[in-house]
A and B are shown apart, each in its own frame.
Chain A
Amino acid sequence: MSDLEPVTDRTHGSPVPAAADTGPTPPPARSARSRATERVIGVLALVGTVFTVWLGLWVTPPDRTQGDLVRLVYLHPGVAWVALYLAFGLAAVSSVLYLWPRTRSLFWDRLAAASVEVGVVFNVCTLVSGSIWGKPTWGVWWAWDARLTLTAVLLVLFLGYLALRRIPAEPEVRARRSAFVALFAVLDVPLVHFSVNWWNTLHQGATVLNPGLTLKIHGSMAWTLLLGFVSLTLAFVWMLLVRYRIGVLEDWLDANELDAALAERRSEGAGPGHTVPSEPVGVA
C-alpha cells in the first residue's frame, strides 16, 4: 500500500482520506434548532419534576389506607411507565425497523441502543423505589412476586443487550444481533404488565393502564400523578436525545480514530533522517 493511498475505513468499508487529503469529515453538527429543542425539553422536564415533587410531598393529601406512603405513587409508576413501555417499546420498534430491509439504517440501531440504556436506568429506579415502598407496606424489601421478579428479569435481559453491544464487531453485525436480542427481551414486557391479572401477587393492580383506562384516584392526586408521568416522559426524551448524539460520536470515532492515529504515526516516521517503510507493519 502506498503512503498516499486513502486508508480504508475498516468499520464501514468506505475510503477515508486520512493522510493525503484534508482529513476525515467531522460528524454532522447539530443544528441550532435541535439544540434549542433539546434545551426546551430539558427545562420543561426539570420544571415539571420540581412541581411534581412539590405537589407530591406538600400539597396532595395522605391516602385513607396507606397514609403518607401513597406519595411514592407520583414517581414510582412514572419511572416504570418510561422504562417498560416507552424505552423498551421504542427499542423494539427501532429494532424491527432496522431488521426490515426497506428501512434498514444505523439510525434505528443507535436509537434502540440509546433507548435501552436510558430504559435500564429507569428500570433500576423502578425496582429500587418499589423495594423502598415494599418494606413499610409488605414488611420486606423484596418478594419473589410475579411482577417484581419479571421486572428484575427484564433488567437482566437488557443489561445483556448492553453487554452484547460492547463485543467488538462490524456495525451491521452488531446492529443485527442487538436487534434480535432486543426483540427477544421485550417479550417480557407484556408478561410484566399482565402479571397482576394472571397470578396472585402482592403488587396492586393497574392504576392507570387498566382494561377500562379509568383513573382509580381522584382530584389533586390524579393531576399530580399525570404531571409526574409527563415530566418523566420529557426527561426520557431529553436523555434519549443526548444519548443518541453520544452514539453518533462514538461510531464516528470508531471509524476514524485509528486512521487518524496511523496518519499521525506515518507523519512522525517521515520526519528528517527517517525512512518510511512502504508496507507499515501490522496494517493491512
Chain B
Amino acid sequence: MRYIVAGYVVILGLLFLYAVQIVWRRRRLARAVARVVATATATAHDGAGDAVATSVGRHP
C-alpha cells in the first residue's frame, strides 16, 4: 500500500506545487507590470518639466 500512497502523493504533490508556483509567478509579474507603468507615468509627468529646464540651460 505504501507504493500506492507514494504514487498519489508524488503526482498530486508535484501538480499542487507547480500550480502554486505559476499563480505566484503570475502575481509577481502583474505587480512588476503595474510598477513599470506607474514609474513610466510618473517619469513622463516629471520629465516634461525637467526637459523644459534642461533645454533652457542648453540654449541660454
**Residues on A close to B: CB < 8 A?**
3-4, 17-24, 26-27, 49, 53, 56-57, 68-69, 71-72, 75-76, 79, 118, 121-122, 124-125, 128-129, 132-133, 135-136, 235, 238-239, 242-243, 245-246, 249-250, 252-253, 256-257, 259-260, 263-264, 266-267, 270-271, 275-276
Residues in chain A near residue B26, CB distance under 8 A: 242, 245-246, 249
Distance of A122 Cα from B19 Cα, bound (Å): 12
Q: Which of B10, B30, B40 contacts A23 (CB 8 A)?
A: B40
Contact-residue bracket for chain B: 35 or more
Residues in chain B near residue A24, CB distance under 8 A: 36-37, 40
Distance of A79 Cα from B40 Cα, bound (Å): 44
Please tell me if the beta carbons of A249 and B29 are within 8 angstroms of each other in the complex: yes
Please tell me if the beta carbons of A246 and B40 are within 8 angstroms of each other in the complex: no
Please tell me if the beta carbons of A129 and B7 are within 8 angstroms of each other in the complex: yes
Please tell me if the beta carbons of B37 and A128 are within 8 angstroms of each other in the complex: no
Distance of A249 Cα from B25 Cα, bound (Å): 10
Please tell me if the beta carbons of B4 and A71 are within 8 angstroms of each other in the complex: yes
Contact with A along B1-35 (1 / 0, CB 8 A): 10110111011101100110011011001101110
Distance of A27 Cα from B36 Cα, bound (Å): 11
Closest to A274 in B: B54
Say what secondary structure dominates the interface of chain B. helix
Please tell me if the beta carbons of A257 and B44 are within 8 angstroms of each other in the complex: no
Q: List 28 A-B contacts (CB under 8 A).
A: A17-B44, A18-B43, A18-B44, A20-B51, A22-B44, A23-B40, A23-B41, A24-B37, A69-B4, A76-B11, A118-B18, A121-B14, A121-B18, A122-B15, A125-B10, A129-B10, A132-B7, A133-B7, A136-B3, A235-B15, A239-B18, A239-B19, A242-B19, A246-B29, A257-B36, A260-B40, A263-B43, A263-B44
Residues in chain B near residue A260, CB distance under 8 A: 36-37, 39-40, 43
Distance of A128 Cα from B10 Cα, bound (Å): 8
Q: Known: A69-B4, A71-B4. Contact between A243 and B22, CB under 8 A?
A: yes
Distance of A27 Cα from B8 Cα, bound (Å): 39
Residues in chain A near residue B47, CB distance under 8 A: 3, 19-20, 263, 266-267, 270
